[in-house]
C-alpha cells in the first residue's frame, strides 16, 4: 500500500515524501487505517518493521485534524501558577501519551515525530530519567500535544505538579513486553488510571505474554490485531566483527579503521543526532570527508549529503536509524556500528545496507562495556556469534563472566517498580567470554588464521 492511499493529510504526506518513503511496510499498511479511524490497535511487531511510523502517522493526523489553539491570557495558565489540578504549565497539555521502556527508545520515537510532524503546528516533548529534569519541565510548560515518556520519570514529574494527563485522548504503549520485563507494570497502571479522557489505545509488543494480554483486555475495545514477523537473519556474504573498546576510544578506533580498511563507501550508525554530528566533526578533524543525515537536517542538507555520498565525493555517511530508513544506496562496502543498537532488529536492518546484489561487505561494531548486553541480544536474535576482532592497539579483551561491566541495564525514566523494591531483582545473565583475536575485513577476505567469536554471548 502507498502512503498516499491512506488519506493522511497533506503536511504529513509531504514529510513522508521528504523522508524518502512511498510504500508502507506491512505493519504500517495494516495498522494505520484502523488507527486513523479511531480504533484500538494491537501490533505484535519488533523494531525494524516500521512500527514507530505505524502509530506516529495516525497520531499526528488525528491531532492535526482536531488542533487546538494555544490558550491566551488565561490567569490559570500564567507561568508558575498552579491550576486546581496541580499542573503548573502555561501551555497546552498533552493529548497523546507515548509510553516506552528506555531512554534510547524515547529518543528514537522523538526523532520520528520530528521527521513526520515537521510541517504541522504541533509540539512534542520527551521525558526520561538519567538526566536533569529542568529542560523537560520547561518543555512541558511551553505546552505539548504529544508527550513521549518513560514511566518512572513521568510519574516523578506528575507528583511534582509539572505535568497533567487530564487531556490525553490517545495512549500508545510501545514495547509493552519490555516494560513488563523491566518491572514498570505497576507504574503503567498508575498512569493509566489518570487518563480520564482516553478514547484510543495503541499497543505494540514484540511478544504477548499473559500479563500484556490481560492489560490489553482491560484497556481496549474490540482492538484490531496486527502481527508482523521480524527479519532475524543476516546475509551470509556479510563479514561481521566486533571490536571491544572503551567508549572514550571509539573516535580514534573509528578513524583508524576508516583509513586502514578498503572503505569505498562506508555507512556509520550512531544512536543520536548529536552523536552523528560529533562523529562527523571528529572525522573531518582527522582528514576524513564525512557527512551526516538525521532528523535535525533540512531536506536540502539531507539531499546534498546523499548526493555527495552517492557520487563518491564523500566516502563516509553518518546516520541515525530513523534518518536512514528508506536509504537505498548501492556499493556500500562497510557498515560500522559506532553505537551498538539497543534494538537487535535494527542491527539486522543496519548491516543489510551492505552486501547487496551478491556483492560482499563488512559489518563492524564498536562495543563498549555498557553495550555488551545489547550485543548479547543481537547474537541471540541472529542465532550466531559475532567474531571478535583485536587487530587494533586499543582493543580490549572480551568481557569475562566475572566482569563487573555486566552489560547495560536499560535506562528507563526515574525509578522502576523493581528499583523501588516492589519486585525482587532478576539474576543477571553472563557476559561474553573472551575470545582470540580476529581480523578485519579486507575486500571479502579474512587476514590471519582462525575465526574467534564472541562465544558465550547467547543464553
- pLDDT, one tens digit per residue, over 288-332 is 999 998 867 776 788 799 889 988 999 999 998 766 655 668 789
399, 430 in Cβ contact below 8 A? no
Q: Cell numbers at residue 16, please?
A: 513522508
Greatest CA span in the chain, whole angstroms? 75
What per-residue confidence (pLDDT) applies to 403?
A: 46
Overall average pLDDT of the 111-129 stretch: 94
Contact 375, 432 (CB under 8 A): yes
Q: How far apart are CA 379 and CA 375, in angstroms?
A: 6
Q: 137-151, 175-189, 418-432: lowest mean pLDDT where?
A: 418-432
Q: pLDDT at residue 83 above 70?
A: no
Bridge partners (DSSP) of residue 444 are: none
Share of the chain above pLDDT 70, in %: 78
Average pLDDT score, the chain: 81
DSSP code of 371?
Answer: G
336's enclosing H/E stretch is strand 334-337
Q: Which residues of 15-51 are buried (b: 16+ CB within 10 A; e: fewer)?
A: bbebbbbeebbbbbbbbbbbbbeebbbbbbbbbbbbb
Domains of the chain: 3-69+87-227 (3.40.50.300), 238-446 (3.40.50.300)
Written as nine digits, the cell of 228 is 508482523
Task: Decide: helix, strand or coil at residue 316.
Answer: strand
Q: Where are the beta strands (DSSP E) in 45-133?
A: 96-99, 124-127
**Model confidence over 254-280: pLDDT tens digits?**
999 999 999 999 999 998 889 999 999
pLDDT tens for 34-52 read 999 999 999 998 666 788 9
Q: What is the pLDDT of residue 62?
A: 96
Return d(Cα 126, Cα 106) in angstroms, integer: 7
46 vs 243, residue with greater confidence: 243
pLDDT of 380 higher than 70: yes
Q: Which helix (H) or strand (E) holds 204?
A: strand 200-205
Residues 6+ apart with CB under 8 A from 122: 60, 63, 64, 67, 145, 146
pLDDT at 432 over 60: no
CB 197 within 8 Å of CB 168: yes
Q: What is the pTM of this model?
A: 0.60
Nearest of 333, 306, 331, 307 to residue 319 by alpha carbon: 306
Amino acid at each position: 500500500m502507498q502512503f498516499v492511499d491512506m488519506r493522511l493529510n497533506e503536511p504529513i504526506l509531504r514529510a513522508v515524501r521528504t523522508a524518502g518513503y512511498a510504500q508502507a511496510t506491512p505493519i504500517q499498511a495494516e495498522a494505520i487505517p484502523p488507527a486513523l479511524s479511531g480504533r484500538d490497535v494491537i501490533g505484535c511487531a519488533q523494531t525494524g518493521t516500521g512500527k514507530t511510523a505505524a502509530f506516529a502517522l495516525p497520531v499526528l493526523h488525528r491531532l492535526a485534524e482536531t488542533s487546538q489553539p494555544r490558550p491566551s491570557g488565561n490567569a490559570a495558565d500564567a507561568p508558575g501558577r498552579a491550576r486546581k489540578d496541580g499542573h503548573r504549565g502555561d501551555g497546552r497539555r498533552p493529548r497523546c501519551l507515548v509510553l516506552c521502556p528506555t531512554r534510547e527508545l524515547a529518543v528514537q520515537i522523538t526523532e520520528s515525530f520530528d521527521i513526520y510532524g515537521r510541517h504541522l503546528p504541533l509540539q512534542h516533548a520527551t521525558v526520561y530519567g538519567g538526566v536533569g529534569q529542568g529542560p523537560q519541565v520547561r518543555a512541558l510548560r511551553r505546552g505539548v500535544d504529544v508527550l513521549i515518556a518513560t514511566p518512572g520519570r513521568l510519574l516523578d514529574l506528575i507528583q511534582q505538579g509539572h505535568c497533567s494527563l487530564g487531556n490525553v485522548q490517545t495512549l500508545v504503549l510501545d514495547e509493552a513486553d519490555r516494560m513488563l520485563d523491566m518491572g514498570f507494570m505497576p507504574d503503567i497502571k498508575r498512569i493509566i488510571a489518570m487518563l480520564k479522557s482516553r478514547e484510543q489505545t495503541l499497543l505494540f509488543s514484540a511478544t504477548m505474554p499473559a500479563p500484556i494480554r490481560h492489560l490489553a483486555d482491560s484497556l481496549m475495545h474490540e482492538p484490531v490485531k496486527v502481527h508482523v514477523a521480524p527479519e532475524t537473519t543476516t546475509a551470509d556474504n556479510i563479514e561481521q566483527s566486533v571490536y571491544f573498546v572503551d567508549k572514550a576510544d571509539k573516535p580514534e578506533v573509528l578513524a583508524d579503521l576508516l583509513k586502514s580498511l578498503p572503505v569505498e563507501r562506508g555507512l556509520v550508525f550512531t544512536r543520536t543526532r548529536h552523536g552523528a554530528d560529533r562523529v562527523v566533526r571528529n572525522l573531518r578533524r582527522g582528514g576524513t570527508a564525512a557527512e551526516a543525515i538525521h532528523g535535525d537536517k533540512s531536506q536540502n542538507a539531507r539531499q546534498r549529503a546523499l548526493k555527495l555520498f552517492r557520487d563518491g565525493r564523500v566516502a563516509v555517511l553518518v546516520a541515525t536509524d530513523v534518518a536512514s530508513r528508506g536509504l537505498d544506496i548501492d556499493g556500500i562496502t562497510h557498515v560500522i556500528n559506532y553505537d551498538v543498537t539497543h534494538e537487535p532488529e535494527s542491527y539486522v536492518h543496519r548491516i543489510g545496507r551492505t552486501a547487496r546484489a551478491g556483492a560482499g561487505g563488512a559489518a563492524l561494531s564498536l562495543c563498549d562495556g555498557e553495550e555488551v548486553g545489547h550485543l548479547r541480544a543481537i547474537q541471540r536474535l541472529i542465532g550466531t556469534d559475532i567474531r571478535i576482532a583485536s587487530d587494533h592497539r586499543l582493543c580490549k579483551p572480551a568481557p569475562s563472566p566475572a566482569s563487573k561491566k555486566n552489560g547495560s541495564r536499560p535506562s528507563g525514566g526515574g525509578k522502576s517498580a523493581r528499583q523501588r523494591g516492589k519486585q525482587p531483582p532478576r539474576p543477571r545473565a553472563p557476559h561474553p567470554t573472551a575470545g582470540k583475536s580476529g581480523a578485519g575485513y579486507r575486500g571479502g577476505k579474512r587476514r590471519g588464521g582462525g575465526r574467534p567469536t564472541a562465544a558465550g554471548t547467547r543464553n
